[in-house]
Amino acid sequence: MFIKDQLSQTEQLLLMSRAVESARNGVVITDPNRSDNPIIYTNPAFTEMTGYSADEILGHNCRFLQGTDREQPALEELRQAIKQERAVTVVLRNYKKNGTRFFNELTISPVRNEHGQLVSLVGIQNDITARIEAEARISDFYAIVSHELRTPIAKIKSSLSVIADGEAGPVSDTVRRFVEISAKSADSLWKLIENILDFKKLESGKFRLLKQRLSLAELAENVVAEFRPVANEASIELTYQCLASPHVNADGQRLVQVMENLVSNAVKFSPEGSEVTVKLLLTDRNWARVEVCDHGSGISAHDLPRLFEKFQQLESPDRRLRGGTGLGLSICKAIMEAHGGHVGVISREGHGSTFWFEIEPLQ
């Protein structure tokens, strides 16, 4: 807001006009009170972005930028926002005068007079083609690499299993030990690929849940049984406390994925001789809650807010990373949010951690 004593109304208007004219964002103003909501102002950045002159733009509805490419969901979202006189941000496929397609990030904001009546719409436009194309290349890269890696890793895992079981002939203890090390590395690589694929599904909106009625207690018990040998090998006692037996409408595979991630992290970051406890209970608001409690080094207050963000990794007590993609907890968060649930952590540095998730049970 300008201070009136410093600038006159004329000076304020002149300053704002020059600012809009100099902006590198495309700016257009339309008049929704006239037929077809025509453009009544355009700044130089918008003419440069589209290749059209101001004379070719003024008086026209912005739809001319879509040409014949009118089957865009974002257009309906834009129309509804204009009809409801509210702000909105959409990404549209637009076309320059020479026919070149570009992706336009458009933000529409209503402008009202002193009586609250809508007098105009301001559209701020950004050409984000480079970003969209870069994201598409990265997505294609992930898909190709993941697909090309899954098949050979599956074959390696299968071959190592045959050797370890002795089906390919007797093996010495030394060979068996190396085979087991290789099998664990193959499993880690497989989980890495799965995390990358899940991450890309989440980003592209292709993440789907296959829900059914499930016993949460049974799922938790199976996960504990699966990880008990892993915990024993690390000299950690893994226990299970079932204080409730709720049923939930959920994707069992995805809930198991969440529990496996939390238990795996707890075992990974716990010192030898300590205990990790998986607990199932009902909260005060009658939601099902699974807690994974450890007695490790805990997490600093500085690190807590970043735990469930993408590409964030926990550190060991000696401040070294213990491997992984940094995607596990962010995927857990997305899975629980897709179920209408929540995930979180209670921790204090030097006092261990309790990772938990909650989901509404069936009545």
Query: With helix as H, strand as E and coil as C, how does 142-193 read?
Result: HHHHHHHHHHHHHHHHHHHHHHHCCCCCCCCHHHHHHHHHHHHHHHHHHHHH
322-347 per-position pLDDT tens digit:
555 567 888 899 899 989 999 999 99
CATH number of the 212-359 domain: 3.30.565.10
Asked if the model's pLDDT at residue 272 lies above 70, the reply is yes
Q: What is the mean pLDDT of residues 222-239?
A: 93
**185-192 long-range Cβ contacts below 8 angstroms, 24+ apart:** 186/153, 186/156, 186/157, 186/160, 187/157, 188/323, 189/149, 189/153, 190/150, 190/153, 190/154, 190/157, 192/324, 192/325
CB neighbours (10 Å) of residue 125?
25
Domain ranges of the chain: 9-127, 132-204, 212-359
**Average model confidence (pLDDT) for the chain?**
87
Q: Indicate if 212-359 has the same CATH topology as 9-127.
A: no
Distance separating alpha carbons of residues 289 and 306, to the nearest angstrom: 22
Distance separating alpha carbons of residues 225 and 239, to the nearest angstrom: 9
289-316 per-position pLDDT tens digit:
999 999 988 888 888 888 887 655 555 5
CATH number of the 9-127 domain: 3.30.450.20
The reported pLDDT for the residue numbered 164 is 82
Q: What percent of the chain has pLDDT over 90?
A: 55
**Which of the four pLDDT bands, split at 50, 70 and 90, describes residue 43?**
very high
Q: What is the mean pLDDT of residues 256-263?
A: 94
The reported pLDDT for the residue numbered 317 is 47
Amino acid identity of 234? A
Q: Which residues pair with 123 in a beta bridge?
A: 28, 108
